Amino acid sequence: MRAAAPAIDLVGARLELGGRAILSGITLSIGAEEFIGVLGPNGAGKTTLMRAILGLVPAAAGEIRVLGSPARRGNPAVGYMPQTRSNPAIGRISGRDFVASAAGGHRWGLPLLGAEGRREVARVLDLVDGTGLAGRPLSEISGGERQRLLLAQALLGQPRLLLLDEPLISLDPHHQHGVVALVRQLQTELGIAVLFSAHELNPLMGAMDRVLYLGSGQAAIGPVDDVITGPMLSRLYGSPIEVARFGHRIFVMAADGSEAEIGCHHHAHG
């Protein structure tokens, strides 16, 4: 049996926005069934990388391959969960209609679904334990429940790769844990790859297989113990960084003892 193609291959990839290099010379490979946590300072290129994998940001140099083929727009094998944006106009639509609004690639606007489409919406709602949310208006559900519905949208069409862009923003620790546990469960049961970007490593510990850390236009990928080190992060931040371990926690600090970046360094370990 042939081995599955990697979910993502980057070879010497350079990504630019407005003529400015965001990431340069990036070479890495992510397996077909890996859970990768994507970390890095604000502006390091986490969202830009995901948009490049979606085919929305073409590589200025090098190559980006997704599931064995060049990255392209509208790839049905890739599910995407963007950063949450509030939209008061959708507050009264039901959870079911919210998920259905993404059917056929339409993020907003309610399509007329046939029996097959309705079954698909019911399937993804069941996957995220969201059946009980189907009839409730969005204005009456919690942030954690809304993230489940956004995840259901991303699962429409049975993708083989999920890109989740900061799904933990504004969630309390309890709901963060629930979202991460659910994504890990689905990733394992469905046998798919996941890129999960976050500001903090702590909620992802125990779920991810490897960490991808971006900074200063560069990338490092590997086990936490190999990537979250003083020398490696000093290179990625472009300034001296110290990593201290106390029990099961990791603290990342600038060399002067101050935090390297709020929200990026109180990392639980193990």
Question: For 134-188, how does the pLDDT look when each residue is reduced to its tens digit (9 = 90+)?
Answer: 999 988 999 899 999 999 999 999 999 999 999 999 899 999 999 999 999 999 9
Residues 78-126 pLDDT 10s: 999 998 755 555 668 899 999 998 886 544 455 567 888 889 999 999 9
pLDDT for the residue numbered 5: 87
Counting Cβ atoms within 10 Å, is residue 1 exposed (0-12), middle (13-18) or buried (19+)? exposed
List pLDDT tens digits, range 211-261. Answer: 999 999 999 999 999 999 999 999 998 889 998 887 767 777 887 655 555
Is 50 exceeded by the pLDDT of residue 61? yes
Q: pLDDT tens for residues 15-54?
A: 999 989 999 999 999 999 999 999 998 899 999 999 999 9
pLDDT at 104: 65
pLDDT of residue 270: 36
| Tokens 């727009």, residue located | 73
